[in-house]
Chains A and B, each alone.
Chain A
Amino acid sequence: MTQPTANCPNCGAKITFRWSGSVQTVCEYCKSVLVRTDLDLQKVGQVADLPPNSSPVQIGTEGIYGRRAFVVIGRIIYEYDQGNWNEWHLVMNDGASGWLSDAQLEYAITFSAPGQTLPGECKLGQEFRWNNQAYTVTTITKAHYCGVEGELPFQYWDKSDLLFVDLMSHTNKFATIDYGEDPPILYLGEAVEFENLKLKNLRSFEGWS
């Protein structure tokens, strides 16, 4: 499969897209935020230095979820009053786009689940049922983005505070509603144990082998 390449309009560096569905990417060299139009790449902004978040995951990390292998190709960092967390953008080996969230080293994998009716707002303890599974709202977080990296399936940067609703179930099933978009987007997935992802190409940390 050939991957589309282009040149960064700001610094001329070669940009390779790992996923055909990527809408936005960040030039690794000059940190320009580039959006893909039909013809070429357009610079829409600049990313400041990433905050000192230290997720072991990085762009290029590979892993396995269920029966599919995936590669990490992008990242959004969100910040809220308790700190920050990462949403790593994954591309599965069948071309699907997914997300690996890493919040204080607790991991979850979700995929966008269109076609469900979502309320205008949620309350803690509220219950929902999607795909024959019951979910309960456990956290409502007001956060703002504080950095992007790599390829994302949509245009995403420089946004103000948005609401994220997390839901848990009596099993490992996990869900998130992103109220930053209109209409809100539902992501369904599950909480995963680090060992089960069989991650490769992780960052290493001083003093830890």
Chain B
Amino acid sequence: MSTSGPASAGMPHVKSLNCPGCGASLTVRSFGNAVTIICNSCHSILDAQDPKLKILQTFKAKANEDPPLIPLGSRGTIRGVAYEAIGFQRRTIQVEGISYSWHEYVLFNPIKGFRYLTEYDGHWNDVSILRSLPDLSPGEGSLKYLGETYNHFQTANAATSFVLGEFPWQVRVGETVQVSDYVSPPRVISGEGTRKEATWSMGEYMAGREVWKAFNLGGQPPAAIGVYENQPSPLGANVKGVWTLLGVFLAALLAMAVGFYSVARDEEVFDQTYMFDTTPKGEASFVTDTFQLKGRTSDVELTTSAQVDNNWIYINYALINQDTGHAYDFGREVSYYHGYDSDGSWTEGSRENRVVVPSVPPGNYYLRIEPESDPHRGTITYTVTLKRDVPQASFFGIAILALLLPAGILTWRSLNFEHLRWAESDYGKAPDDGSLLSSVENIAGSFKSSGDKE
């Protein structure tokens, strides 16, 4: 049903007014929603609801001080809704004697309402007012909102240091308010005001290039410096996923190890004992009888054990395929020394030596053996044993390390990122919430403080 009679008012339009302080032209974009409007020429804060624009405050500022990165009057689209930047302010806090300032932009859509963008050191946040109350923990160290826990990051007194454009609330330069931030990256919940009368808002982290894209701005956004309180970790969720995958891989490795160890032939195909007379005479080399290496192409483990006592024996081996003439040529040393000195008894070396010959095709083989040792040291008895298709643990060990390495690096980098984040907080370190990060930081902290005097 439509109204009859005259319309209640003409279509609201953007107004142009003159500043009562200096006569400069002012553009009013908020269709009557603004409470205060600032003249950028004479820096007077005017009452936007008063048709005469009464002057509420005048503050000192340089000409073109702090130009907003998003020019007032620019339109941009955030979450599918078009907004116009109509207001801008700079707020400053003091932490340990150092001033930190951030900027806030008031975004306006005449039907959908207000939104705010904050910017600090190149980090942006898309902020909107909360319509329901977060649940503060008893010590106010954290709060819960919509099932998510936010940890307290910082509380500071924020002073308004510069204003521009239009605001839907009363602004005054120099006015302070207590602000508390609670983070759950990529979100942050801020409470402004006193404990009893707080206005709560939620911010979601935005990268500079997203803002530039939303508002179609030219040039490049300012580079983000350091890690911001609610900046999402580029690794974050991945760390957990990677360790879960790692667990799966390790389980698979275990299954594979069990499989290979049970399936391997581990078959002894040769076992002979020889005596080597170290008296130098003629040819020391000899060949063994042939033996068969069965199954698929796999490894052969050769064990040389020699009864050396403070002596050594070096055996030149050639594992020769009788049919193809293909041979594996290698030498192994077995040496064992022992004695007694001021520190007690000592031993060096071993009476046994193992080597794995890789990828030996099946077939008929024999060994050509040529032992060497110090001359005139008597007779050395040694045993040569060959095993076919022996599973090797070393590959599994390497695989474990190969899998742990990227997971470890990822975790270290993630912890580093979080450390940088929390270094900027009131605490200088992560909250004690049982997370891996806080445990590592607590351990690191206890190492540092263990050197302090009690």
Q: Which residue of B lies closest to A208 (CB)?
A: B110
Contacts of B113 in A (CB 8 A): 104-106, 194
Q: CB-CB contacts of B115-155 with A at 8 A, as 1s and 0s? A: 00000000000000101111100000000000000000000
Q: Which residue of B lies closest to A83 (CB)?
A: B35
In A22-75, the 8 Å CB interface with B consists of 28-29, 50-54, 56, 58-60, 71
Distance, CA A133 to CA B198, complexed state (A) = 20
- Whether the Cβ atoms of A168 and B1 lie closer than 8 Å is no
Contacts of B196 in A (CB 8 A): 123-125
Segment from A92-100, A112-120, A169-177, A180-188 that makes contact with B? A169-177
- Whether the Cβ atoms of B1 and A203 lie closer than 8 Å is no
Known contacts A18-B1, A28-B5, A60-B1; A208/B131 CB under 8 A: no
Distance, CA A29 to CA B197, complexed state (A) = 43
**How many of chain A's residues touch chain B, expressed as a range?**
35 or more
Instruction: Report if A149 contacts B (CB, 8 A).
Output: yes
Known contacts A139-B197, A203-B11, A204-B11; A81/B3 CB under 8 A: no
Instruction: Report if B109 contacts A (CB, 8 A).
Output: yes
Distance, CA A149 to CA B114, complexed state (A) = 25
- Whether the Cβ atoms of B1 and A170 lie closer than 8 Å is no
- Whether the Cβ atoms of A206 and B111 lie closer than 8 Å is no
CB distance from A167 to the nearest CB of B (A): 10
Contact of A13 among B5, B13, B132, B169 (CB under 8 A): B5
- Whether the Cβ atoms of A136 and B133 lie closer than 8 Å is yes
Instruction: Report if B33 contacts A (CB, 8 A).
Output: yes
CB distance from B261 to the nearest CB of A (A): 58
Distance, CA A2 to CA B78, complexed state (A) = 46
- Whether the Cβ atoms of A203 and B12 lie closer than 8 Å is yes
CB distance from B274 to the nearest CB of A (A): 87
- Whether the Cβ atoms of A138 and B5 lie closer than 8 Å is no
Contact of A104 among B9, B13, B33 (CB under 8 A): B33
- Whether the Cβ atoms of B31 and A54 lie closer than 8 Å is yes
Distance, CA A105 to CA B1, complexed state (A) = 24
Contact of A82 among B8, B129, B170 (CB under 8 A): B170
CB distance from A41 to the nearest CB of B (A): 16
- Whether the Cβ atoms of A174 and B131 lie closer than 8 Å is yes
**How many of chain B's residues touch chain A, expressed as a range?**
35 or more
Contacts of A13 in B (CB 8 A): 5
What is the interface of chain A mostly: helix, strand, loop, or mixed?
loop
Known contacts A82-B170, A125-B196, A206-B13; A56/B111 CB under 8 A: yes
Distance, CA A172 to CA B114, complexed state (A) = 18
Contact of B2 among A28, A60, A173, A194 (CB under 8 A): A60
Contacts of B22 in A (CB 8 A): none
Instruction: Report if A191 contacts B (CB, 8 A).
Output: yes
Centre residue among B4, B131, B196 by max chain A CB count within 10 A:
B131
- Whether the Cβ atoms of A172 and B131 lie closer than 8 Å is yes
- Whether the Cβ atoms of B9 and A50 lie closer than 8 Å is yes
- Whether the Cβ atoms of B3 and A105 lie closer than 8 Å is no
CB distance from B8 to the nearest CB of A (A): 6
Contacts of A172 in B (CB 8 A): 131-132
Distance, CA A2 to CA B29, complexed state (A) = 43
Contacts of A171 in B (CB 8 A): 132
CB distance from A200 to the nearest CB of B (A): 11
Instruction: Report if B195 contacts A (CB, 8 A).
Output: yes
- Whether the Cβ atoms of A205 and B132 lie closer than 8 Å is no
Distance, CA A173 to CA B129, complexed state (A) = 15
Binding site for A on B (CB under 8 A): 1-6, 8-9, 11-14, 30-33, 35, 49, 82, 109-114, 129, 131-135, 168-170, 195-198
Q: What are 8 sample pairs from A and B whose C-beta atoms fall under 8 A apart?
A: A28-B4, A54-B12, A54-B33, A169-B132, A170-B135, A194-B112, A202-B111, A206-B11
Binding site for B on A (CB under 8 A): 13-14, 16, 18, 28-29, 50-54, 56, 58-60, 71, 79, 81-84, 104-106, 108, 123-125, 136, 138-139, 149, 168-174, 191, 194, 201-208
Apart from A28-B4, A191-B132, what are 6 other A-B pairs with CB-CB below 8 Å? A13-B5, A28-B8, A50-B8, A51-B32, A124-B197, A202-B111
